[in-house]
Chain A
Amino acid sequence: MSCMAQQTYVSSRAAVPNLEFRPKGRGIVPRGLTFAAVLIILLMLAIIMGNILVGGMGTISWEFLTHPPEQGMKAGGVFPAIFGTVALVILMVIAVVPIGVFTAIYLQEYTSPTSWTTRLIRVAINNLAGVPSIVFGLFGLGFFIAFVGGGIDTLFFPEEGPVWGQPAIIWASLTLALLTLPVVIVSTEEALRTIPRELREGSYALGGTRLQTIWRIIIPQALPGILTGSILAVSRGAGEVAPIMFTGAAYYLPYLPGKLNDQFMELGYHIYIMATQSPDIEATKPILYGTVLVLLLLTFSLNSVAILIRSRMRRSRVGAQ
């Protein structure tokens, strides 16, 4: 790798003196071609958003948001799916935020960036972010449901059928928590890096211990970053379907999940089922578009809030310097 790198450097260096022999255009062609790429991306985005907005606008109403599906999902609303999604991501956040924040603190405050533990954890985080979501689904099934849930059942409920060793909202949310862990860590770390060293030193000078410094100085300062990470994690978690297909999401439930080991309905899964398993796709279409629009609005509004907090955080950092 390093020899290749060396080569590119040499060649780039050698190319520069030759430049005067080239026609000195204004670079219309490269500029035009790369701008075309940008335009196509913007156009695709506009088409997708436009299509879903136009298709779903007519469906969304108060009734739609607050009523359960009726007539085999050809009528009614998506309330149970919204409820399930919200419950799912709340449980996920409860699990992922403390662990993510602690990991970021450990990486930033406790260890040197070059130590092998830090490197190992970093490699793990990067890889966790790249594991295919369906593999998370397999893992959730094999670990949380069969191993953990099944283990609890054999220990505490040997007489009954599966109590915890079955698809449930708690297993789905824990699976999603692992999937979104890198998001929270990266965002928190970014915030921790912006905290001036003087604040830490001031705390130590006043006799604060490391933990007191973290608890009273670092975490409050990093709060916007933690918030950004949590919101991004929620937005990501709300849109993932593959990890929850086998770990707790259900086609249709006549009741709302009330216990941790209940199954649940979810917006993304609802979309998948309606789009692929419906016997009469034309009849489901308005409901389907409405559901997609609800999911998109949910993720986009969450993302916009996260981006807003982050840009404010960055601006205040620039201001402080």
Chain B
Amino acid sequence: MEHLRFKSKSRWREFAGEKLISISAFTALLSILLIFVFVFKEAIPIFVDDYIKEDASLDKMLCQQEFYEGREAKWSWQPNSEVPKFSLLPLFIGTLKAALVAMLFAIPLGVGAAIYSSEFASRRMGEIIKPAIETFAAIPSVVLGFFALMVLSSFLQQVMGLTFRLNAMNAGIALGLAIVPIIFTVAEDAMTSVPGSLRDAAIALGATPWQVSLTTVLPAAMPGIFAGIVLGFGRAVGETMIVLMASGNAAIISISVADSVRTFSATIAAELGEVVFGDTHYHVLFLIGLLLFIFTFVVNLGGDIVLTRLKERLQGRTT
């Protein structure tokens, strides 16, 4: 009898423990769903609430508006003015500009360093590069933002003779520093996972080591390098603290990288603290958050699929 009781107790424990483990395992999945639901929930009123639509209908957020009678129509983001203006276009251009500068800066550095590390680096050099990149990745974005704000901006202004100290270029370069590690890591991983048999075949055909790299390894790893770049772009669009501190945050429409920009992420960070809970501005900020979430979700899913397939293909080839 006693024996049995002991057994049933341990069975109950077993059951509870296993349930705990499997429930915990769904936390990540649940989180993603909850993030979507709760950000989406706060963005819905924009589509259904008539009062909010007055200031922030889709039409008003996307198309040119004539805010004051008789004046020229334009796209403006001025949520706190007497006539609130919620055009998303200046923010969209700002986000794109900062992210593109970041990509221009980070792609050559990240991919170049990945090629060097995977193909040319001696063992000793590799032992310097990888920890250095890991260190780079460990720098908090607020510190990069601080550096761009205090040091890089003045340097760029002096060297290039810019009018504004805080601008798209300054933010973009700092943003680039933040995504170099992502591009490097993904690209390097793709190149090192190219099977040795491919390399051996090229060497057997008489290629020199660097010709093997450029004509065999690089094309084979190309989807991985591309995925790294796309993931880096996703991060550049979503990154907040760097652009918030280093971009100047002026919501203007211009294509010059010497002008200040305001990005989607920085707009949320700068304005959410001051909005009235539940008013139009509040819901528009959540809509922006929803856009960011959906964009990065698609980018990550795409990058993920490309990388999984690449791995399967490269590993399949060796067997």
Give bound CA distance, A138 to B264, whole Å: 13
User: Does A38 lie within 8 Å of B129, measured CB to CB?
Assistant: yes
In angstroms, Cα B300 to Cα A244, docked, is: 23
Residues in A with CB closer than 8 Å to B38 are 138-139, 142-143, 147
State whether the Cβ of A256 lies closer than 8 Å to any Cβ in chain B.
no
Say whether B93 faces chain A, with CB atoms less than 8 Å apart. Answer: no
The residue in B34, B135, B146, B237 that gathers the most chain A C-beta atoms within 10 A of its C-beta is B146
Contacts of A242 in B (CB 8 A): 240-241, 265, 269
Q: Within 8 Å of chain B (Cβ to Cβ): is A24? A: yes
Of the stretches A27-35, A73-81, A194-202, the one at the interface is A27-35
Are B304 and A211 neighbours in the complex by a CB distance under 8 Å? Answer: no
A-B contact count (CB 8 A): 305
Chain B residues closer than 8 Å to A40, beta-carbon distance: 109
Name the residue of chain B whose CB is nearest to the CB of A136: B35
Prevailing SS type, chain B contact patch: helix
Segment among A14-22, A57-65, A86-94, A221-229 that sits at the interface with chain B: A14-22
Of B20-28, B55-63, B71-79, B254-262, the stretch lying at the interface with chain A is B20-28
Q: List 29 A-B contacts (CB under 8 A).
A: A2-B309, A9-B220, A17-B205, A25-B210, A36-B112, A37-B108, A48-B139, A103-B25, A103-B27, A106-B21, A106-B25, A121-B26, A127-B304, A129-B300, A130-B231, A131-B32, A134-B292, A135-B39, A138-B285, A139-B34, A210-B14, A210-B18, A211-B14, A239-B139, A239-B141, A271-B142, A275-B146, A303-B134, A303-B138
> Complex formed: what's the CA distance from A238 to B265 in Å?
20
**Stretch binding the partner chain, chosen from A177-185, A257-265, A312-320:** A177-185
Which chain B residues lie closer than 8 Å to A271 at the CB level? 142-143, 146
Q: Knowing A52-B143, A124-B32 are in contact, say whether A38-B215 is a contact too (CB < 8 A).
A: no
Q: What 1/0 flags go to B280-319 for Cβ under 8 Å of A?
A: 0000011001001100110111001110011001000000
Known: A24-B208, A37-B113, A102-B25. A30 touches B131 (CB 8 A): no
Q: Mark A94-135, 1 if CB is under 8 A from B, else 0.
A: 000011001101110010000000001101111111111111
A136 to chain B: which residues have CB within 8 Å? Answer: 35
Distance from A230 Cβ to chain B, minimum over Cβ atoms (Å): 15
A272 within 8 A of B: yes
Q: Is the CB of A38 within 8 A of B112?
A: yes
Task: Check B201 for interface membership: any CB of A closer than 8 A.
Answer: yes
Question: What's the least CB distance linking B258 to chain A, in Å?
Answer: 21
Check A120–B113 contact: CB distance below 8 A.
Answer: no
In the assembled complex, A190 has its CB within 8 A of some CB on chain B: no
Q: Does A321 contact B (CB under 8 A)?
A: no
B222 in contact (CB, < 8 A): yes
Determine if B22 and A138 form an interchain contact, defined as CB atoms under 8 angstroms apart: no
For chain A residues 270-297, which have a beta carbon within 8 Å of chain B? 271-272, 275-276, 285, 288, 292, 295-296
Among A17, A106, A107, A129, max chain B CB count under 10 A is at: A106
Partner of A299, one of B13, B140, B215: B140
- Knowing A19-B207, A123-B304, A132-B265 are in contact, say whether A99-B146 is a contact too (CB < 8 A): no
In this complex, what residue of B is CB-closest to A34? Answer: B116
Interface residues of B (CB under 8 A from A): 10, 13-14, 17-18, 20-22, 24-29, 31-32, 34-35, 38-39, 41-42, 108-113, 115-117, 119-121, 125, 128-129, 131-136, 138-147, 149-151, 177, 180, 198, 201-202, 205-211, 213-216, 219-220, 222-223, 231, 234-235, 237-241, 244-245, 265, 268-269, 272-273, 285-286, 289, 292-293, 296-297, 299-301, 304-306, 309-310, 313
From known contacts A105-B21, A137-B269, infer whether A51 and B309 are also in contact, taking CB-CB under 8 Å. no
Contact B25–A107 (Cβ < 8 Å) = yes
**Complex contacts, B208 vs chain A, CB 8 Å:** 19, 24-27
Q: Which residue of B lies closest to A134 (CB)?
A: B240
Name B20's closest neighbour in chain A (CB-CB): A102
With CB as the reference atom, state the residue of chain B lying closest to A104: B25
Q: Which 8 A-B pairs have the closest CB atoms?
A: A239-B140, A132-B238, A27-B210, A37-B112, A102-B24, A106-B25, A34-B116, A130-B300
Shortest A294–chain B CB gap in Å is 11
Q: In the complex, how many angstroms separate the beta carbon of B231 from the nearest chain A beta carbon?
A: 7
Q: Which of B13, B135, B145, B309 contacts A300 (CB 8 A)?
A: B135
Q: Are A132 and B206 in contact (CB under 8 A)?
A: no
Interface assignment of A206: CB less than 8 Å from any CB of chain B = no
Instruction: Name the CB-closest residue of B to A96.
Output: B27
Interface set, chain A 224-246, CB cutoff 8 A to B: 235, 238-242, 245-246
CB pair B219–A26 under 8 Å, yes or no, is no
- A3 close to chain B: CB less than 8 A: no
Chain A residues, Cβ within 8 Å of B142 = 239, 241, 268-269, 271-272, 295
When distances are taken between beta carbons in the complex, the residues of chain A under 8 Å from B201 are: 16
Closest to B110 in A: A37
CB distance from B289 to the nearest CB of A (A): 4
